[in-house]
Amino acid sequence: MASDLASLTASEMLAALARHRVTSQRLVEASLAAIVRRDRSLKSFVRLSPEARAEAARSDRRGVRRPLEGVPVGVKDIIDTARLGTEYGARIAAGHVPAHDATAVHRLREAGAVVVGKCATTEFAHMHPAATRNPHDPTRTPGGSSSGSAAAVAAGLVPLALGTQTGGSVIRPGSFCGVFAFKSSWGRTETHGIHELGRSLDTVGWFARSAEDLGLLGPVLLAGHQPARTVTKPSFVRLRTPYDALASKAMLAACDDVAARLAAAGAEVARRRLPAWYKSARDAHRVVISVEASRAFARYAREQPTRLSATLRDFIEKGQAAEPDYAGALAFGDRARVHLDQVFGDHDVLIVPAAAGEAPKGLGWTGDPVFNGFWSLLRVPCVSLPAARSRAGMPLGVQLVGRFGQDERLLAIASWVAERLKIGPVAPV
Amino acid sequence: MASDLASLTASEMLAALARHRVTSQRLVEASLAAIVRRDRSLKSFVRLSPEARAEAARSDRRGVRRPLEGVPVGVKDIIDTARLGTEYGARIAAGHVPAHDATAVHRLREAGAVVVGKCATTEFAHMHPAATRNPHDPTRTPGGSSSGSAAAVAAGLVPLALGTQTGGSVIRPGSFCGVFAFKSSWGRTETHGIHELGRSLDTVGWFARSAEDLGLLGPVLLAGHQPARTVTKPSFVRLRTPYDALASKAMLAACDDVAARLAAAGAEVARRRLPAWYKSARDAHRVVISVEASRAFARYAREQPTRLSATLRDFIEKGQAAEPDYAGALAFGDRARVHLDQVFGDHDVLIVPAAAGEAPKGLGWTGDPVFNGFWSLLRVPCVSLPAARSRAGMPLGVQLVGRFGQDERLLAIASWVAERLKIGPVAPV
């Protein structure tokens, strides 16, 4: 039964809890048991919460049930949890225990979720890798920076986990690990209590094993949440980008296949191509993230440089050198965001690759965020759907990009797509 | 001599220090003496640094002189100073002593400046007033939120002081107190270690009694500083805004007069009018600042609401209610920033009011930021020049607005204007 429980989605857990067929304590025990069994090799969790069992017991005693009452969740270790160590994947922050929950964690707990533990992150959510392995192939990266959150959900250790994205830190690991992943519009999620990486880019995102579960967190975590209208006839753009030459054939085929299946299901699917000048979006994103990171980490770099990885030190130096280009990169972002309205036209969602291809071999590099940084700069909400497989059997994510601020609608359309195309729920690997 | 020393500008101090005609210790003593003499009624400083004298002595012993070596400065109490109390003008932060300097303070110290003390701020740099009075008329507000910094410089207690602007917190008090004031482009100054008010709007600014002094801080505080080309023939736009009906006749006349005198001095001065749709900029700014503030203060509002002012509590509630409008307001800002390029055309600087008029009577309200929030949303750099007086003899600031990111050029043009039109140096009042 324990393995059965660990394989449930959050929606299934909530249904079973509502019918008193299970307790939060049993769900949390199942999650902890799965972690003990599986995580020694997977390394998706860096710390378990000593309070999880007691919280589950309190949850079971509550009369009024809240939206996530009793559901075990994982939280990326870049996100503060009160009295539970939060080390940001960084040697320099070893032993750090925050006094307060981040806003996102506060909202999760207010909704009744039980934080089981903290999930591995790359160093300060940048590129220096965590020890986490890809559940589909332990010789491959799970992606990053939300490495542990994506892997833990894919392996069925928790049904939901929080991540963050500044470049490609949610959508890329979502694609590599074969789960559903959502990155919010910049500004629609609150980042207080999350260690800053790039302040004009940082967003909260999350992972789930079904589109329905992905949507569960919208009302909990989206600021100013307003329910989406019922999705009747969404319309799509299969969008070619100036970076498509960097995508694998299988990835481009997966996007085309989703577009074709949507058209076959009766949806309107236009085909468009981003103008060539968008190619600068990648550089503009690099300038913005490196400058903002160099500022966020300036004091660490000044006071304890040897306790940062060489990767991060190099990135900070790049950021300092890029300062003269920062204002221009921000202004580029303004122009591209205004222009993107024309790219959408009357359509709801753009269909593009979630990553360049399958998860690369090796654990030393979390993969190229070329299909993500771009959208992070544009501030739009993104979903990765586990829609296809590579020849090696590795997951390939197809990315759905929504209009800025219309996060609820994107989540609703992602559910519509998953249902029509029969994508997910994903079984734990 | 002490009063003579306190009346010097920073540039004059640096010249006297370089010629060994004065020491930093004497300058700091003169500043402290002026504070003792004057500040009991003015209330521009909330805390003096017990280390200022020792720092001045160390400065006097240095061989190599740095750009601001030995110059006494004031720092707004929203900005962290290591081991020197920083209470953010907020009862809730009483007794707070930061462990680290804010980046801006670190940069000032690295340049050799001596922090004499902390200047009064409104509560968390919002509207609940500080006790500071206007040096020109103690029955009037000095403006806010950088109330103490503007008043201290106007009164000649320090030649330079740091402030911050999220709405109109530098340019408005600069106008009301009759000093030179500069607000940087968003992103050109680092806000780490400054208590957040509105994260997509917060900027560092500063006050001085001459345009030359205003320019002194550019190389120290502007990230990625690059020297401006020599100003030969700057060109201006006397810009009418949708808010001009809210400005006093004297204020509009002061702007027209500066424009006319510049034209008479041979500068090109065009006349333009902002499209009516810019009127929404004020509302968009209000949405952005209130939502961001409500998030920044969420934990205080949750845990200790009674220790916040009613003004701030009300603002936080407004922000929570405005959440559904936040993404739209951000998108409006993107569009307005892209459009503003057309407003500038080939010109360098826009000429507009720095405030609606003279400082209002009373200390309960810091005045209307209607001519500032607008520009804060547009992220552009702004200067207030003490160019005129009202019939009551109160100062009126004329605002120069530069292109986004071109802060060095705006500062150079402000010096050019001040020299041509013989504005300043301002004598202490």
Q: Within an 8 Å CB–CB cutoff, is residue B224 touching chain A?
A: yes
* Annotation says B318 is catalytic: no
Domain assignment present for B410: yes
Could you tell me the two tokens for A326?
């920062």
Give the closest of A200, A324, A404 to B226, CB-based. A324
CB contact under 8 A, B223 and A185: no
Q: Is residue B225 part of a domain?
A: yes
**For B330, which of A103, A187, A325 is closest by C-beta distance?**
A187
Contact assignment for A185 to B327 by CB distance below 8 Å: yes
Q: Is residue B16 part of a domain?
A: no
In percent, how much of chain B has pLDDT > 90? 97
* pLDDT tens per residue across span B348-381: 999 999 999 999 999 999 999 999 999 999 999 9
Residue of B nearest to A298 (CA): B103
Same domain? A338 vs A201: no
Report residue A158 as tokens. 């928790």
One of B11, B44, B49, B145 is an active-site residue; which one? B145
pLDDT band at B7 (very low <50, low <70, confident <90, very high): confident
* B399 in a structural domain: yes
In this structure, are A73 and A149 located in the same domain? yes
- Minimal C-alpha gap between A16 and chain B (Å): 33
Beta strands B72-76 and B45-48, pairing class: unpaired
From the candidates B323, B339, B341, B407, which should be mutated to test the interface with A, based on the most A CB atoms within 10 A?
B323
Question: Residue B3 pLDDT > 90, yes or no?
Answer: no
Q: Which of B192, B226, B337 minimises the CB distance to A334?
A: B337
- Alpha-carbon distances, residue A65 vs A61, A276, A283, B315 (angstroms): 10, 51, 47, 32
Residues of A known to be catalytic: 76, 145, 169
pLDDT tens for each residue of chain A, 429 residues long: 445 898 899 999 999 999 999 999 999 999 999 999 999 999 999 999 999 999 999 999 997 899 999 999 999 999 999 999 999 999 999 999 999 999 999 999 999 999 999 999 999 999 999 999 999 999 999 999 999 999 999 999 999 999 999 999 999 999 999 999 999 999 999 999 999 999 999 999 999 999 999 999 999 999 999 999 999 989 999 999 999 999 999 999 999 999 999 999 999 999 999 999 999 999 999 999 999 999 999 999 999 999 999 999 999 999 999 999 999 999 999 999 999 999 999 999 999 999 999 999 999 999 999 999 999 999 999 999 999 999 999 999 999 999 999 999 999 999 999 999 999 999 999
Q: Which of B190, B299, B379 sits opposite A100 (nearest CB)?
A: B299
CATH assignment of the domain containing A400: 3.90.1300.10
Q: DSSP E strands: which ranges in A241-332?
A: 268-273
Are A160 and A264 members of one domain? no
Q: What is the pLDDT of residues B192-219, one digit of tens each?
A: 999 999 999 999 999 999 999 999 999 9
Q: What is the domain count for chain B? A: 1
| B2: pLDDT strictly greater than 70 | no
Q: What's the Cα-to-Cα distance from B391 to each of B35, B118, B251, B254, B366, rounded to whole Å? A: 29, 33, 11, 12, 20
Closest CA to A310 of A127, A167, A177, A147: A127
pLDDT given at position B194:
98
pLDDT at B1 over 50: no
Q: What are phi and psi of A344, to 5 degrees?
A: -65, -40
At B284 the pLDDT is: 98
User: Both ends of chain B: CA-CA distance in Å?
Assistant: 17
On whether both A161 and A201 belong to a single domain, the answer is yes
CB interface of B with A, residues 146-185, below 8 Å: 185
Residue B25, in any domain of the structure: no
Across the interface, do A223 and B323 touch by the CB < 8 Å criterion? yes
Domain range for A92 is 2-221
Domain shared by A170 and A273, yes or no? no
Residue B107, in any domain of the structure: yes
Query: What average pLDDT does this structure show over B114-141?
Result: 97
